[in-house]
């Protein structure tokens, strides 16, 4: 067991569901309600100093409970080390806290997770699809989405009458 | 700025500052990539910009889950198609980390060598297009010619210019062809001459500098917050190169410098890329010098196909071949993240295996995705024409950004 995950486990005790360093990757699994707090600590604490949110994605463990895991990869440039933070998300309450208040890159990363897995991020300023079009049905990277499923043909969208993204009031300020 | 509505209240109906909505793209001649900018303009000044990506989405991550681990390699070629060999190497290293094996020494040197060749072709593409987009068409032709020198070489090595599929789990498909080193040295000499020409044409060219300098600036804090890596981050002066900070292969055994910028504008991004080409050539030369003869793929029959002699003449060989082709290489259950320095920044692979012959999840961290995320902020307040240069310097590669 690495030193880093021990420190985090000591600091947060029962808020950390699991911690390990299998395959050499240090990993902590955090309960969803405390995820934002743990991420903030990891970014701001001078001992941790994880200044980069390198990646954020999700994995669909179809058939298990909780079904999804939101997986974040952090990198600390001053300490030169990496950490994986996993947040289990249940299918029935498919939500996770947004990290967009901590890192600007979280905005698009969370949009992609929402697009591909249908996980909603609480506190996200602009949660809409990013790779797919708004009329797309379902979430493509879920395991119960067949890879050869056809999508219905959608009518052409008038970009003036019905712009994408929708006009936000005062957005041009 | 006063909004038109406020101005109307003041009794001065002035329509000169009315906000115009403009949709630029998705197939615009000045943007080399399928992308759409939903712009709000005040005259030619960008007030708001919504960047829309996804036009080249092919479901890379979904399709990877349908085949075996080996069948992912052709997909990775098509991520960043300007530097396919780096993608191959990144995926191979991640899969090997999951399997707990290491490629033979010679294979690792070859991977380094090919990565650097790919980095040069990628940078040449980006720089040439940067020139073309501001009207310096000659530079584009010069760099494309230089790139062709290397593509020829890649073709002799892998059989293809772009869709190389050169790496395998546990090594590479074949050894370097005869005389590879001599030809490469000759090609590098030619590329150095081309670079000297481009340097004269661009670096102190008044028009080029005016279009690039001070445009698209990003502070260090913002660059880190946007998780930028590669030339975009290094242009702001942050010294982060995966090859130096978290060395993989034998990057800790070669001598090279990491060029840094200071202002984080388009001109610095251009210079960082320009100087990286020279460093990549240095690394490639050292690889060739340090390489010694040996196998290029592991002989472990769980991971590598047996030689055809054994397949046709022994029952074990035939069985091993059959198992790998039909069932796929079985990587142990678990998950791993491994990053390599792509031409545009940190190219990461997050792999999840359930122990069967097929990937459970393949996630790519595409470096230019983050550059595109920052574009909206970077462009605000700039002119419409600055989109072209800034977008060019982010070097968005649709295959990688949209997957």
ipTM: 0.86
A77 contacts B245? CB cut-off 8 A: yes
Nearest Cα to Cα of residue B213 among B145, B137, B130, B283: B130
Three-state DSSP state, B345: strand
Nearest Cα to Cα of residue B277 among B132, B116, B389: B116
**CB nearest B337 (choices: A80, A84, A140):** A84
Q: What residues form DSSP beta bridges with A72?
A: A56, A85
C-alpha of B303 from chain center:
27
pTM of the model: 0.88
**Cβ-based neighbours of B319, under 8 Å, separated by 6 or more:** none
B227 contacts A54? CB cut-off 8 A: yes
User: Chain A: nearest CA to B71, how far in angstroms?
Assistant: 16
Residue A53: what pLDDT? 92
User: Chain A: nearest CA to B399, how far in angstroms?
Assistant: 12
B372 contacts A108? CB cut-off 8 A: yes
Q: What does DSSP assign to residue A31?
A: -
**CB nearest B63 (choices: A80, A130, A147):** A147
Has residue A116 got a pLDDT over 70?
yes
Contact B37, B23 (CB under 8 A): yes
Please report, rounded to a whole number, the percentage of residues in chain A having pLDDT higher than 90. 30
What does the alpha-carbon distance between residue B238 and residue A168 come to, in Å, rounded to a whole number?
Answer: 36
* A27-30 and A16-20 beta bridge pairing: antiparallel
What does the alpha-carbon distance between residue B396 and residue B399 come to, in Å, rounded to a whole number?
Answer: 9
pLDDT band at A172 (very low <50, low <70, confident <90, very high): very low
User: Chain B: nearest CA to A141, how far in angstroms?
Assistant: 6
Token digits for B39? 């712009």
- Whole-number Cα distances in Å, B325 to A66, B175, B322: 34, 22, 5
Please report residues of A whose CB lies closer than 8 A to that of B219: none
Nearest Cα to Cα of residue A131 among A140, A121, A120, A122: A140
Nearest Cα to Cα of residue B297 among B70, B117, B76: B70
- For residue A139, give the chain B residue with the closest CA: B62
**Cβ-based neighbours of B39, under 8 Å, separated by 6 or more:** B21, B22, B23, B24, B46, B48, B49, B50, B384
What does the alpha-carbon distance between residue B169 and residue B84 come to, in Å, rounded to a whole number?
Answer: 16
What does the alpha-carbon distance between residue B286 and residue B115 come to, in Å, rounded to a whole number?
Answer: 13
pLDDT band at B337 (very low <50, low <70, confident <90, very high): very high
**CB nearest B226 (choices: A105, A130, A164):** A105
B348 contacts A108? CB cut-off 8 A: no
A51 contacts B350? CB cut-off 8 A: no
* Omega of the bond leading into B26 within 30 degrees of 0 (cis): yes
**Cβ-based neighbours of B53, under 8 Å, separated by 6 or more:** A130, A131, B35, B369, B372, B396, B401, B402
Interface check B174 vs A, CB under 8 A: no
Residue B6: what pLDDT? 63
Contact A139, A164 (CB under 8 A): no
- For residue B246, give the chain A residue with the closest CA: A80
Instruction: List residues in chain A touching B: CB distance below 8 A.
Output: 22-25, 51-55, 57, 59-60, 71, 73, 77, 80, 82, 84, 103-105, 107-108, 116, 129-133, 140-141, 145, 147, 159, 163-165, 171-173
**CB nearest B361 (choices: A23, A59, A164):** A59
- Whole-number Cα distances in Å, B296 to A98, B37, B46, B104, B167: 45, 46, 53, 6, 10
- For residue B95, give the chain A residue with the closest CA: A23
User: Which of A11-15, A154-158, B183-187 has the highest average model confidence (pLDDT)?
Assistant: B183-187
Residue B7: what pLDDT? 59
What does the alpha-carbon distance between residue A37 and residue B301 come to, in Å, rounded to a whole number?
Answer: 47
pLDDT band at A110 (very low <50, low <70, confident <90, very high): very high
**DSSP track, A47-111:** TT---EEEEEEEEE-TTSSS-EEEEEEEEETTTTEEEEEEEEE-STT-EEE--TTT-TTHHHHHH
What does the alpha-carbon distance between residue B143 and residue B120 come to, in Å, rounded to a whole number?
Answer: 10
Task: Tell me phi and psi for residue A21, to 5 degrees.
Answer: -135, 50
Q: Using the CB atoms, write b or e for B17-48: b if 16+ within 10 Å.
A: eebeeebbbbebeebbbbbbbbbbbbeeebbb
What does the alpha-carbon distance between residue B199 and residue B203 come to, in Å, rounded to a whole number?
Answer: 5
Q: What residues form DSSP beta bridges with A60?
A: A68
Residue B94: what pLDDT? 92
Task: Say how many Å lie between the first and final Cα of chain B, rounded.
Answer: 39
A55 contacts B50? CB cut-off 8 A: no
- Whole-number Cα distances in Å, A60 to A65, A67, A167, B389: 10, 6, 33, 39
- Give per-residue pLDDT as tens, A41-69: 888 888 888 999 999 999 999 888 889 99
**DSSP track, B14-57:** --TT-EEEEEE-SS-TTSSSS-EEEEEEETTEEEEEEEE--TT-
**CB nearest A131 (choices: B3, B53, B374):** B53
Has residue B11 got a pLDDT over 80?
no
Q: What is the rounded average pLDDT of the residues A153-171?
A: 66
User: Chain A: nearest CA to B61, how far in angstroms?
Assistant: 8
- Torsion, Cα B264 B267 B273 B276, to 10 degrees, reads -80
What does the alpha-carbon distance between residue B19 and residue B403 come to, in Å, rounded to a whole number?
Answer: 34
A105 contacts B225? CB cut-off 8 A: yes
Residue A46: what pLDDT? 84
Query: Hey, which residues 110-169 in chain B have their CB within 8 Å of chain A?
Result: none
Please report residues of A whose CB lies closer than 8 A to that of B50: 165
Per mean pLDDT, which range of A22-26, B185-189, B244-248 is the poorest? Answer: A22-26
Contact B396, B82 (CB under 8 A): no
Query: Hey, which residues 37-76 in chain B have their CB within 8 Å of chain A?
Result: 38, 40, 47-48, 50, 52-54, 57, 59, 61-63, 65-66
Q: What is the rounded average pLDDT of the residues B46-58?
A: 88
Residue A169: what pLDDT? 44
Residue B267's Cβ-count burial label (10 Å; 0-12, 13-18, 19+) is: buried
Size of interface A-B (CB pairs under 8 A): 107
**CB nearest B38 (choices: A57, A71, A165):** A165
- Whole-number Cα distances in Å, B44 to B39, B125, B181, B376: 10, 29, 51, 16
């Amino acid at each position: 067991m690495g030193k880093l995950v021990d420190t985090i486990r000591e600091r947060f005790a029962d808020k950390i569901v699991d911690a390990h360093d299998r395959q050499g990757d240090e990993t902590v699994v955090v309960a969803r309600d405390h995820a934002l707090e743990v991420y903030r600590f990891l970014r701001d604490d001078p001992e941790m100093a994880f200044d980069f949110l390198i990646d954020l994605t999700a994995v669909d463990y179809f058939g298990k409970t909780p079904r999804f895991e939101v997986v974040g990869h952090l990198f600390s440039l001053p300490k030169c080390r990496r950490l994986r933070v996993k947040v289990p998300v249940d299918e029935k309450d498919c939500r996770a806290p947004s990290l967009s208040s901590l890192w600007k890159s979280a905005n698009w990363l969370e949009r992609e997770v929402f697009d591909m897995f249908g996980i909603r991020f609480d506190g996200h300023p602009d949660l809409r699809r990013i790779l797919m079009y708004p009329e797309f049905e379902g979430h493509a990277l879920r395991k119960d989405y067949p890879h050869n499923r056809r999508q219905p043909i959608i009518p052409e969208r008038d970009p003036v009458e019905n712009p994408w993204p929708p006009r936000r009031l005062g957005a041009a300020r | 700025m006063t909004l038109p509505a406020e101005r109307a209240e003041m009794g001065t109906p002035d329509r000169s500052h009315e906000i115009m909505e403009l949709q630029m793209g998705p197939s615009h001649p000045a943007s080399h990539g399928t992308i759409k900018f939903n712009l709000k303009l005040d005259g030619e000044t960008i007030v708001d910009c919504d960047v829309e990506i996804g036009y080249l989405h092919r479901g890379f991550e979904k399709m990877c889950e349908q085949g075996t681990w080996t069948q992912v390699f052709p997909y990775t070629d098509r991520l960043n198609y300007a530097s396919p060999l780096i993608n191959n190497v990144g995926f191979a290293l991640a899969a090997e980390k999951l399997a707990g094996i290491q490629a033979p020494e010679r294979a690792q040197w070859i991977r380094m060598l090919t990565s650097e060749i790919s980095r040069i072709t990628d940078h040449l593409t980006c720089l040439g297009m940067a020139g073309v987009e501001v009207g310096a068409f000659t530079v584009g032709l010069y760099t494309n010619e230089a790139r062709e020198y290397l593509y020829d070489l890649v073709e002799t090595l892998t059989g293809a210019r772009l869709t190389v599929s050169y790496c395998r789990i546990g090594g590479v498909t074949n050894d370097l062809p005869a005389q590879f080193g001599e030809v490469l040295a000759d090609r590098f000499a030619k590329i150095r001459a081309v670079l000297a020409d481009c340097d004269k044409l661009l670096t102190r060219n008044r028009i080029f500098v005016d279009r690039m300098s001070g445009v698209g600036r990003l502070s260090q804090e913002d660059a880190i917050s946007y998780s930028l890596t590669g030339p975009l981050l290094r242009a702001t002066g942050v010294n982060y190169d995966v090859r130096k900070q978290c060395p993989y292969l034998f990057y800790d055994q070669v001598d090279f410098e990491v060029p840094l910028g200071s202002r984080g504008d388009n001109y610095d991004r251009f210079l960082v890329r320009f100087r990286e080409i020279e460093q990549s050539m240095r690394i490639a030369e050292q690889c060739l010098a340090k390489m010694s003869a040996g196998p290029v793929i592991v002989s472990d029959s769980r991971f590598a196909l047996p030689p055809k002699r054994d397949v046709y003449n022994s029952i074990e060989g035939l069985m091993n071949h059959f198992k790998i082709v039909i069932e796929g290489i079985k990587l142990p259950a678990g998950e791993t993240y491994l990053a390599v320095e792509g031409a545009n920044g940190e190219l990461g692979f997050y792999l999840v295996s359930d122990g069967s012959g097929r990937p459970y999840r393949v996630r790519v961290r595409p470096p230019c995705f983050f550059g595109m995320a920052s574009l909206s902020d970077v462009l605000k307040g700039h002119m419409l024409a600055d989109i072209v240069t800034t977008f060019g310097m982010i070097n968005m590669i649709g295959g990688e950004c949209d997957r």
